[in-house]
Amino acid sequence: MQHLTQQSIRMDDVPLNRFHIKIAGLTFGAHFTDGYVLGVIGFALAQIKPQMGVSAFWEGMLGSSALIGLFIGSLMFGWISDYIGRQKIFSFSFIIITLASALQFFVNTPEQLFLLRVMIGIGLGGDFAVGHTMLAEFSPRKHRGVLLGAFSVVWTFGYVGAGIAGHFLTAIGPDAWRWLLCSSALPALAILLMRIGTPESPRWLMGKGRHEQAMAIVHKHFGPNVALNDEVQAVSQQRFLSLFGAKYRRRTAFNSLFFVCLVIPYFSIYTFLPSILQIMGLDNNFATDLLLNGLLIVGALLGIVLTVICSRRGFLIGSFIFLAACLVMLSLIPASQTAWLIAIFAAFTLVMSAVSNLVGVFPAESFPTEVRSMGVGFSLSISRLGSAIGTSLLPLSIAHYGMPATTGMLALILIIGAIVSIAWAPETKGLTLVDAAQDSQPQAENAFAAVAK
């Protein structure tokens, strides 16, 4: 392995260039598609239910179908990519997404639609695990937080785009839901075509001992004076169970738990937002949707800024505490206090969207190259499993226990997230990927000891 010279610079320290932007754009495409796919199903179900006679059970299954697929795909493909490489999954995932999205036009039963949306979720889940990893392994550390955090912004644009499309397309006729669902094939196909020729991660190649191939990619895209060298450790034949061994178990626990504690309230609330607003006594119309969607976008953009100027750890812990306090207040304030309800719900929406940027940052920075895709994939899969369970149970909870008690339970989940973050969240800002992965364990242990005292 060649050694760094005075003229050489590490890949972690190269200036941001066009290739970084290209990789970011290609990975962002998956998040836009995910936001769009999850956003359109609520509007489509309004037409599908009377046409197909969809039962309450199948309504819940269709609402959570893509999340179930995301759980399977991120777990499965994250593990596979650490063995066969990132680039193959990076392309194959969008073949699945494009075909399954287009075939939604032809479904005639809830079962058929469920299977296709699970397949879409599988493709998206695999792409998330690999996409986060690819971008983390190519990005310079100075800009890594912004690039990884921007996933949330792009997801939000996809979700808002689905809301706008749903409001207008569902009015064109009884079969509008078919066009609405299959429309996700268009961005998916565009992304698939643009990904042709994407190089393999040089960090993964170097870890596999394929030094010449790795350095050829580095020199082509970053310059002849750029080196990997000590940044990359050899990728051993790690088993999936190694994520739960002594070396990685705290990183696995932290990334899975903080992730799931954020997304359960997020998906539970915003999947059933019209019903929740009605229960809270707030108007639910296009203007209200536009206002809340606007806050989601502003919050996502704010999250990028806060990721740059704040510590990763402080941003996460502070947001968990603030969000839990908002939900506690929403559960206690009577429905007659409309102004307060709107203000608190708006603040919750803004901060929830902002801190969601960190779900793309922490997992990718916490695991070393040898298990990065497996670690990211597992964390993502657990988050989507939790989202699917929370989304399917929320209507039952509201019916049996009422909105205040349900809101209180969601606040408790956020409090658990805060405790987990105080105990185990590392500070990865400004570190190389190797340094971040090596330092996360002792930082977590020191933080836990401080809390115990």
Mean pLDDT of 104-112: 93
Quickly state the pLDDT bin for 436 (edges 50, 70, 90). Answer: low
* pLDDT-wise least confident of 69-73, 93-97, 103-107, 224-228: 224-228
Kindly report, residue by residue over 389-406, the tens digit of the pLDDT. Answer: 887 777 778 778 888 888
pLDDT higher at 342 or 274 = 342
Of the candidate ranges 51-60, 143-152, 218-227, 310-319, the one whose mean pLDDT is the lowest? 143-152
Task: Record the tokens describing residue 97, joined without a space.
Answer: 């997404």
Element (DSSP H or E) covering residue 227: strand 226-227
Amino acid, single-letter form, for residue 226:
V
Structure tokens at 245: 């061994």
pLDDT at 195 over 50: yes
Residues 6+ apart with CB under 8 A from 310: none
Residue 198: count of CB within 10 angstroms of its CB: 16
Residue 234 CA, chain-centre distance (Å), reads 28
pLDDT at 132: 73
Torsion (CA) 28, 29, 30, 35 in degrees, nearest 10: 90
Q: How far apart are CA 391 and CA 63, in angstroms?
A: 8
Let me know: does 124 contact 30? Beta carbons within 8 Å.
yes
Cβ pair 267, 391 in contact under 8 A: yes
pLDDT of residue 153: 80
Q: How far apart are the first and last CA of the chain?
A: 45
pLDDT digits (tens, 9 = 90+) for 61-75: 887 788 888 888 877
* Percent above pLDDT 70 for the chain: 85
Instruction: Give the CB-side neighbour count of residue 171, counting CA atoms within 13 A.
Output: 5
Average pLDDT score over the chain: 80
The full set of domains in the chain, from first to last, is 9-198+237-452 (1.20.1250.20)
Is the pLDDT reported for residue 201 higher than 80?
Answer: yes
Q: What is the DSSP letter of 310?
A: S
- Both structure tokens of 423: 């105990």
What pTM does this model have? 0.72
How high is the pLDDT of residue 233?
47
In this structure, are residues 423 and 451 in contact, taking their beta carbons and an 8 Å threshold? yes
Going by pLDDT thresholds of 50, 70 and 90, the confidence category of residue 386 is confident
- Residues facing residue 9 across a β-bridge: 226
DSSP-derived 3-state class of residue 402? coil
241 burial via Cβ count (<10 Å: 0-12, 13-18, 19+): exposed
Question: Between 111 and 443, where is the model more confident?
Answer: 111
- Kindly state the average pLDDT of the residues 342-346: 86
Structure token pair of residue 16? 């941001």
pLDDT of 443 over the 60 cut: no
pLDDT tens string 223-279: 888 877 544 444 444 566 778 888 888 888 898 899 899 988 887 787 666 667 766
Q: Is the pLDDT of residue 370 over 60?
A: yes
